[in-house]
Amino acid sequence: MKDVYTLEDLRNWKTVTAGIDPPIRLAVFGDPIGHSLSPQMHNAALEALKEPMQYCRLHIPVPDLEEALHLLRDNDFLGTNLTIPHKLEVLPFLDDIDSAAEKLGAVNTVLIEDGQFIGFNTDGPGIARTIRAEFDVDLSDLRVMILGAAGGAGRAAAVQCALEGVSRLVLVNRTLEKLEPIYQELRPYFPEERVSAPIKWFQVCPLEEVTLHRQMDHVDLIINATSLGMKRTDPPPLATNLLQPHHLIYDMVYGKGKTKLITAAIDAGARAASGLSMLLYQGALSLEIWLQRDAPVPVMKDALWRAAGFRLVGDPD
């Protein structure tokens, strides 16, 4: 099996994958996609469950998304995961959308059933499960700040926080105007009478040090949902001198080794965890949608940890 397949491969799928056994029937679409650890995790699970199929990476740029989906259907795929930049772009091509994904406004899992494309979002429920597993606390007990709240994953985190009834929610984005729709959508979850002075219960902020500085005493959990950290040369998503020991930092970015944000959080005496665990729990939920059976979470976790080559902060030896 190749590390990464392309649209051209999909167009000639039967020839390109001749001899691959069991056949590839699940995928993850992205651009870029080479860094994705999803195949290692899902292939370990499929093998453990004795499901006769494999999972691959597909490099699909946005203009090719619709054709790629149709080619999946033609080639007997069960479905696909979607990562950057497809989670919002896929919405027009779906025949149906699960009600939770509709609320979340983004789709990271497509099920192909009776020729129809059905969209789901396992990022939101995956985040709630991840925070509980990583920090031993429920989202509902936390004051949460989300960096990159206007992006697909950030939006999912924001909606999930509202649904879970977090103690406080601060939505942060580089482009502030992009927060307006999600702010209006979530306002009903934070009724005015529960606003406690001097700091608002629910608010938006630009991704600027001076503004964020005023928030830091009043948030417990900071989630990085920006794409900063995916490249080694990226700066951290916020000024690291803002981090305090009481903070819990969840960096959705994952890869080999620690991100600059995770390193800075540990240096500041805060607790921190990387996006690997979110990948695990959203992946387990996606697998359950495709296969309609329980996912083998410990097997998936082992495979992911091995593929990433490092342990999550706070994970037992």
- Nearest Cα to Cα of residue 217 among 199, 203, 205, 202: 199
Q: Which residues are catalytic?
A: 87
- Nearest Cα to Cα of residue 296 among 36, 27, 38, 44: 44
CA distance 43 to 55: 6
* Total interface residues for ligand NAP by CB under 6 A: 27
150 near ligand NAP (CB under 6 A): yes
* Smallest gap from residue 182 Cβ to ligand NAP (A): 10
16 near ligand NAP (CB under 6 A): no
| DSSP H helices in 249-296 | 260-267, 276-291
Element (H, E) at 39: helix 38-48
124 near ligand NAP (CB under 6 A): no
Strand partners, 249: 222, 272
* Smallest gap from residue 201 Cβ to ligand NAP (A): 22
In the region spanning residues 226 to 285, those forming contacts with ligand NAP, defined by CB under 6 A, are 226-228, 230, 252-254, 275, 278-279, 282
- The contact pattern for ligand NAP, residues 181-220, with x = CB under 6 A and - = no contact, is --------------------------x-------------
* Smallest gap from residue 141 Cβ to ligand NAP (A): 22
148 near ligand NAP (CB under 6 A): yes
Element (H, E) at 119: strand 116-120
Q: Is 152 helix (H, G, I), strand (E, B) or coil?
A: helix
Residue type, 107: V
Binding site for ligand NAP (CB under 6 A): 84-85, 87, 123, 148, 150-154, 173-175, 178, 207, 225-228, 230, 252-254, 275, 278-279, 282
